[in-house]
A = this chain, B = another copy of it.
Amino acid sequence: MTLYFSDSPQHPALLICELCRLFYDNNWVTGTGGGISIRDVDGPNPNIVYIAPSGIQKERLKPKEMFVAELPGKILRTPNDESTGQPLSADLAKDFKYKPSACTPLFLSCYNLRDAGACIHTHSQNAVMATLIFEDKVEFSMSHIEQIKALPQLAANPETGKIEKVGSMQYYDTMVLPIIENTPHEEDLTDTLQKAIKDYPNATAVLVRRHGIYVWGENVWKAKVYNEAIDYLLELAIKMHQNGIPLVKK
């Protein structure tokens, strides 16, 4: 246990719990929806990632309920390891077995393809509505809103080829987010998510039609800020659409 947990208020397992409570209040992860994963970028092994388990009330998560994996994808710990054989939360049935989040391969894709420090997945109604209003489109575009400046300007590092943050988007830039089609099983989104990440090197998020959004960032606070800024923009976009205002200014 000492390997994976500590009482530091910045420990990934604690931050996952703190942020899930915040996301619950925003209606992003109600009904066990959504998920979050944080990479221990400042710890002794920055390839260690913490992942909230599947099918759990996100606002009531406890740090010891996390799965721990090592990149590129080896599970190091499951919360079922406990000697008692009981689930770690009184909310769960006595024979409950923790399962890794179905988001796990998707989170790993963001870590491995973009060197992310944290990944957030929500069922935000703004995200779902944006994919429904533009059900015939495969990308979502918006420009000329100040909040766009909260998002990173990304570019390939000429030496390593890696996509890196080189600044912030500008007010007049067009934010383009790919929309991928949902699949019956969440893990089956992996291929299309990876393709979207590669096809849209300027994006720090992918929308999933009728489902929600995946957002990642260099560290947990950047991922949180990008998620907030994108949700603000999607909320505004829906209002603009309803008022007949184009989302991209000529």
Q: Does any Cβ of B come within 8 Å of A113's Cβ?
A: no
B31 touches A210 (CB 8 A): no
Q: For window 88-108 of chain A, which residues contact chain B by CB distance below 8 Å?
A: 90-93
Q: For A218, what are the chain B residues with a Cβ–Cβ distance below 8 Å? A: 93
Known: A57-B225, A210-B146, A239-B129. A135 touches B184 (CB 8 A): no
Contact B172 A184 (CB under 8 A): yes
User: Would B239 and A125 count as touching, CB distance under 8 A?
Assistant: yes
**A231 and B123 alpha carbons, distance in the complex (Å):** 13
* A125: B residues at CB distance < 8 A: 232, 235-236, 239
Task: Sort chain A's interface into a size bin.
Answer: 35 or more
Given that A132-B240, A145-B128 are contacting pairs, would A150 and B245 also be in contact in the complex, using a CB cutoff of 8 Å?
no
Q: How many copies does the complex hold?
A: 4
Closest chain-B Cβ to A193's Cβ sits at a distance in Å of 14
Query: Shortest CB–CB separation between residue A112 and chain B, in angstroms?
Result: 22
- Please indicate the chain B residues that have their CB under 8 angstroms from the CB of A63 in the complex: none
The distance in angstroms between the C-alpha atoms of A150 and B211, with both chains bound, is 12
Are A32's CB and B225's CB within 8 A? yes
Which residues of B sit under 8 angstroms from A239, Cβ to Cβ?
A: 125, 129
Residue in B31, B90, B129, B145 whose beta carbon sits within 8 Å of that of A150 in the complex: B31
Cα distance, A216 to B145, chains bound together (Å): 23
| With A33-B146, A221-B57, A245-B132: A123-B211 Cβ-Cβ less than 8 Å | no
Residue A139 is within 8 A (CB to CB) of chain B in the complex: no
CA distance A70 to B243 in the complex (A): 44
Q: Residues of B contacting A210 with CB < 8 Å?
A: 144-146, 171
- Chain B positions within 8 Å of A242 at CB level: 243
- Are A30 and B229 in contact (CB-based, < 8 A)? yes
**Contacting residues, chain B, for A228 (C-beta < 8 A):** 30-31
Interface residues of A in 158-184 (CB under 8 A from B): 170-172, 182-184
Give the contacting residue for A30; candidates B32, B93, B132, B232; CB below 8 A.
B232
Q: Is A27 an interface residue (CB 8 A)?
A: yes
